[in-house]
Amino acid sequence: DAGVIQSPRHEVTEMGQEVTLRCKPISGHDYLFWYRQTMMRGLELLIYFNNNVPIDDSGMPEDRFSAKMPNASFSTLKIQPSEPRDSAVYFCASSARPGNTIYFGEGSWLTVV
Amino acid sequence: AQSVAQPEDQVNVAEGNPLTVKCTYSVSGNPYLFWYVQYPNRGLQFLLKYITGDNLVKGSYGFEAEFNKSQTSFHLKKPSALVSDSALYFCAVSSTYGGATNKLIFGTGTLLAVQP
């Protein structure tokens, strides 16, 4: 399997623009996670899905952030409008079931200027 | 609420010496415990996990960790460090409280620096 695939790997955008990050989980995995990594706050769980349904979005920072999973093989994390404080690495991850290993993508490195 | 503490921001060790990276946790219910490693500009790579059974867990690249329920710890160890082990290490926990969930919470990370 190719692992968790994220795109874009790097994005630089201007403040106020819409940003869409994409993720393809490992085939057969029922859980999908979005994490954000910053120097100040470390790794934060933003939201996770089970069978395409959002289970816990308590980590989503504010209404500017939204996540969808229209099918088992695709998820998006959208920021609209983007702000400089959103600059971070955003990781997507997936796993088969509770207790199974969670596998991470290589991350999307976002810079908002 | 579940939480993970990694008390050391950085651990320095000479190549060939044993290394320990500390982790303690707090959960309701039984814990699922994980260690991940992150190299510069890369994603997190799975090292090992404890779900149930033997308290000593062996993982990738010669790493192992010991689950200690009474001390709520899951320290990462390696008998002989390599320079190539230098990286950022994360401990993580999820729990079975309220039914098994997959919500994995990470510690703040420990930077391991192995000197030649």
- Mean pLDDT rounded to a whole number for chain A: 94
Is the model's pLDDT at B2 over the cut of 90?
no
pLDDT value at residue B29: 82
> In A, which residues are within 8 Å of B32 by CB distance?
98-99
Establish whether the linkage from the previous residue to B7 is cis, with ω within 30° of 0.
no
Task: Work out the percent of chain B whose per-residue pLDDT is above 70.
Answer: 94
User: Closest approach of chain A CAs to the CA of B108, in angstroms?
Assistant: 6
Reading the block at residue B112, the tokens are 């391991």
pLDDT value at residue A1: 63
Interface test with A, best of B39, B57, B96, B102 (most A CBs within 10 A): B102
Nearest to B94 among A93, A98, A104 (CB): A98
Residues lower than pLDDT 50 in chain A = none
B96: confidence class by pLDDT, cuts 50, 70, 90: low
Q: Which residues pair with B28 in a beta bridge?
A: none
B98: confidence class by pLDDT, cuts 50, 70, 90: low
Looking at A1-113, which runs of residues are DSSP E strands?
5-7, 10-13, 19-24, 31-38, 42-50, 53-56, 65-71, 74-79, 88-95, 103-104, 108-112
- Closest-CA residue to B92 (of B15, B1, B19, B5): B5
**pLDDT tens digits for range B28-65:** 888 899 999 999 888 999 999 998 889 999 999 999 99
**pLDDT tens digits for range A54-70:** 998 999 988 999 999 99
Contact A99 B100 (CB under 8 A): yes
What is the 8-class DSSP label of residue A25?
P
Residue B9 DSSP SS3: coil
The span from the CA of A105 to the CA of A23, in Å, is: 8
Contact B43 A50 (CB under 8 A): no
Nearest to B46 among A91, A103, A106 (CB): A103
Q: Which residues pair with B102 in a beta bridge?
A: none
> In A, which residues are within 8 Å of B104 by CB distance?
33, 45, 102
